[in-house]
Chain A
Amino acid sequence: MAETAKKSRLSRSRTRSAWLFLAPMLVTLAVVAAWPLGRTIWFSFTDASLDLMSDARWVGFRNYLEYVEWGDGEGQYYGLLADARWWRSVWNTILFAVVSVSFETLFGLVIALVLNQQFRGRGLVRAAVLIPWAIPTIVSAKMWAWMLHDQFGIINDMLQGLGLISQPIAWTASPDTAMVAVLMVDIWKTTPFMALLILAGLQMVPQDIYEAAKLDGVPAWRVFRKITLPLIMPAVLVAVVFRTLDALRVFDIVYVLTPNTDATRTMSVYARENLFDYDQFAYGSAASTLLFLVIALITITFIMATRMDLEGKRS
């Protein structure tokens, strides 16, 4: 009896100390994440401006969509959802996410398969592969901006040397190639991350499966398609989802490599321009809120679909 009383007192005091330990972290996250997010959403329904934030008044959905009637039965839609520039940046973001993640997965898979082989100098190769990942995004953007320079760039020099192009290309300045340039830099920079995640999945595949397949004389391509690929699929999927969420909020590369062009403006860039450059604080907040909604939906779907193990029951 006394024993159980002591035990429950102990567990109650442990629960109390648990919350005490969690408090600093929770307060910090509330102040840097939850509260600002709530304020952003609130601003999106007001007429807030950069200088007059505290006097912001509620204006309903006006920043999102509003029908203004001119009188004689005619009128026009205004707001984010009626803004062609916004839809262009939504399209740019989706295009960027789909193309970059596809190529990163493909290249990442190839690199992971190579790194999963036994060969001399493997450690060095793995270190080299990690270098693009370690380089700050801004630095990679600048490095590539220089390599892609229309007059003095080494990429044009290479392509001309190989006879693939006859005229130098203004990669970052021309609207036709700006998105290609952004994609190139992002794929170069982020493929190592993909490769590492897929490699971790590959290393969990038991070696004796391969031995058995080899003894039975199964061709390498079939082994890959029928054994390796299904087994690493979960790891690949997790990596794809992480990267997609990341790609949807892309900002740095676009902002630095191809500033101010309709051809590459993404949702994040659009939102920041309105918030701080065009003094349309409330309107920019509405764009931020929509981007948040998109990402939240994908995240929730993902968590539901994989039924993530949060309590650590499986381990």
Chain B
Amino acid sequence: MKPPLWQTIGFYTLVGLIVLQAVFPFYYAILTSLEDGQALFEVNYLPKALNLANYQAMLTEGVFGKQILNSVFVATVVVILSLFLAVTAAYALSRIRFRGRGLLLLTVLSVSMFPQIAVLSGLFEVIRYFGLFNSLWSLVFSYMIFTLPFTVWVLTTFMRNLPVEIEEAAIMDGASSFTIIRRVFLPLMWPAMVTTGLLAFIHAWNEFLFALTFLSTDSQRTVPVAIALISGRSEFEIPWGNIMAASVIVTLPLVALVLVFQRKIVSGLTAGAVKG
């Protein structure tokens, strides 16, 4: 039984609208980033110019290149560190029975609900105390507050659903727990680790409040803060072309990641929320 024509048309119109609203702002940012001078101040719906001057300005003048490297460094180290800490913790939380396990998991989960602003003044003191102010390590360190609970949570759920039999033989053979994690679990955990790693990377790449507060010089900043702080001498001289070029540069890798790993990201996002 085929649905009536008006229904089909209506449905595809809706689909078209959904796609258009999702894609248009980014499309328009790319379009603006390719315009220069006077062309910038005419509203165009279709690409009219293909001028790379804005990109050239961002990448060759100033410290934007260095700032990209800062972001790459912070996000990468955050992913490695939180995965390492979370895999061992998730093993203990999912495979070993001990008292207080449920409460512990609850505590870890509740940390992910913390508003960042609630720890900001305390963290600021800690970071100054360790001499990390204006160092990229201050971000690596503070980002653990949101990557770690989430990673532990998802990996624990994942590990708990693996059958008991896989480690029984290893325990009988007297393998140490660390060997069990490394030889038995790690090979099975890749899918979950890729998912959580990706989400941790995106989160660290996008974070703004800590990066704004704990870093004070331009060459140390990460890209979100760098973009937020691009300004002209007055309100009428804001270099929109440069801002859009910088925005496209930092967003393209993320959009690529999302398109390539679409399924993994979706399963990670929903595992974090729905399974609870």
Interface of A is mostly: helix
Question: Is B93's CB within 8 Å of the partner chain A?
Answer: yes
List residues of chain A with CB within 8 A of the CB of B206. Answer: 136-138
| In-complex Cβ contact of A36 among B21, B88, B123, B250 (8 A) | B123
Kindly identify, within residues 11 to 42 of chain A, every residue whose CB is under 8 Å from any CB belonging to chain B.
Answer: 11, 14-15, 17-19, 21-22, 24-26, 28-29, 31-33, 35-40
Given contacts A21-B177, A25-B89, A28-B144, contact A39 B122 (CB under 8 A): yes
Question: Is A231's CB within 8 Å of the partner chain B?
Answer: no
**Contact A143–B26 (Cβ < 8 Å):** yes
Question: Is A79's CB within 8 Å of the partner chain B?
Answer: no
**Contact A146–B122 (Cβ < 8 Å):** no
List residues of chain B with CB within 8 A of the CB of A131. Answer: 22-23, 26, 255, 258
**Contact B117–A33 (Cβ < 8 Å):** no
Which of B12-20, B52-60, B62-70 has 4 or more CB atoms under 8 Å from chain A? B12-20
Assembly CA distance A281 to B124 (angstroms): 11
Of chain A, the residue at the smallest CB distance from B16 is A125
Kindly identify, within residues 70 to 94 of chain B, every residue whose CB is under 8 Å from any CB belonging to chain A.
Answer: 85-86, 88-89, 91-94
List residues of chain B with CB within 8 A of the CB of A235. Answer: 274
**Contact A312–B160 (Cβ < 8 Å):** yes
| In-complex Cβ contact of B160 among A18, A142, A272, A315 (8 A) | A315
Question: Is B50's CB within 8 Å of the partner chain A?
Answer: no
Assembly CA distance A288 to B209 (angstroms): 14
| In-complex Cβ contact of A33 among B15, B145, B269 (8 A) | B145
**Contact B116–A135 (Cβ < 8 Å):** no
Question: Is B194's CB within 8 Å of the partner chain A?
Answer: no
**Contact A128–B19 (Cβ < 8 Å):** yes
**Contact B105–A268 (Cβ < 8 Å):** no
List residues of chain B with CB within 8 A of the CB of A136. Answer: 205-206, 223-224, 250-251, 254
For the complex formed, measure the closest distance between the CB of A86 and the CB atoms of chain B, giving whole angstroms: 14
| In-complex Cβ contact of A135 among B14, B26, B157, B240 (8 A) | B26
Question: Is A213's CB within 8 Å of the partner chain B?
Answer: no
Given contacts A19-B92, A134-B257, contact A251 B106 (CB under 8 A): no
**Which of A25, A267, A276, A312 has the most CB atoms of chain B within a 10 A radius of its CB?**
A25
Assembly CA distance A43 to B125 (angstroms): 11
**Contact-size category for A:** 35 or more
Question: Is A193's CB within 8 Å of the partner chain B?
Answer: yes
**Contact-size category for B:** 35 or more
Assembly CA distance A31 to B119 (angstroms): 11
Which of A63-71, A96-104, A222-230, A289-297 has 4 or more CB atoms under 8 Å from chain B? A289-297
Of chain A, the residue at the smallest CB distance from B105 is A310
For the complex formed, measure the closest distance between the CB of B133 and the CB atoms of chain A, giving whole angstroms: 12
Q: Residue-by-residue, is B137-153 near A (CB-CB < 8 Å gives 1, otherwise 0)?
A: 00001101100110010
Given contacts A275-B121, A292-B114, contact A25 B88 (CB under 8 A): yes
List residues of chain B with CB within 8 A of the CB of A61. Answer: none
**Contact A25–B106 (Cβ < 8 Å):** no
List residues of chain A with CB within 8 A of the CB of B259. Answer: 127, 130
Assembly CA distance A214 to B171 (angstroms): 53
Q: Residue-by-residue, is A125-161 near B (CB-CB < 8 Å gives 1, otherwise 0)?
A: 1111111111111111111101101011110010000
| In-complex Cβ contact of A146 among B104, B142, B244 (8 A) | B244
**Which of B86, B113, B258 has the most CB atoms of chain A within a 10 A radius of its CB?**
B113
Question: Is A82's CB within 8 Å of the partner chain B?
Answer: no
Given contacts A36-B125, A134-B255, A144-B25, contact A251 B266 (CB under 8 A): no
**Contact B43–A130 (Cβ < 8 Å):** no
Question: Is B32's CB within 8 Å of the partner chain A?
Answer: yes
Of chain A, the residue at the smallest CB distance from B89 is A25
**Contact A271–B120 (Cβ < 8 Å):** yes
Question: Is A207's CB within 8 Å of the partner chain B?
Answer: no
Q: Residue-by-residue, is B19-41 near A (CB-CB < 8 Å gives 1, otherwise 0)?
A: 10111011011001000000011
Question: Is A285's CB within 8 Å of the partner chain B?
Answer: yes
**Contact A17–B96 (Cβ < 8 Å):** yes
Q: Residue-by-residue, is A262-302 near B (CB-CB < 8 Å gives 1, otherwise 0)?
A: 00000110011001100001001100110110011001000
List residues of chain A with CB within 8 A of the CB of B125. Answer: 36, 39, 53
Question: Is B110's CB within 8 Å of the partner chain A?
Answer: yes
Question: Is B202's CB within 8 Å of the partner chain A?
Answer: yes
**Contact B114–A311 (Cβ < 8 Å):** no
Question: Is B126's CB within 8 Å of the partner chain A?
Answer: yes
For the complex formed, measure the closest distance between the CB of B167 and the CB atoms of chain A, giving whole angstroms: 11
Question: Is B219's CB within 8 Å of the partner chain A?
Answer: no
List residues of chain A with CB within 8 A of the CB of B161. Answer: 315
**Contact B86–A135 (Cβ < 8 Å):** no
Given contacts A127-B258, A138-B228, contact A289 B118 (CB under 8 A): yes
**Contact B118–A272 (Cβ < 8 Å):** no
Of chain B, the residue at the smallest CB distance from A282 is B121
Assembly CA distance A292 to B120 (angstroms): 11
Given contacts A29-B149, A39-B122, A252-B209, contact A17 B177 (CB under 8 A): yes
Residue contacts A-B, CB under 8 angstroms, 7 given: A128-B18, A138-B206, A143-B26, A143-B29, A151-B41, A238-B274, A310-B105
Known: A119-B11, A136-B250. 7 other contacts (CB 8 A): A25-B89, A25-B108, A32-B144, A111-B18, A146-B240, A268-B117, A312-B94
Pairs of residues from A and B, 3 with the lowest C-beta to C-beta distance, nearest first: A36-B122, A39-B122, A292-B118
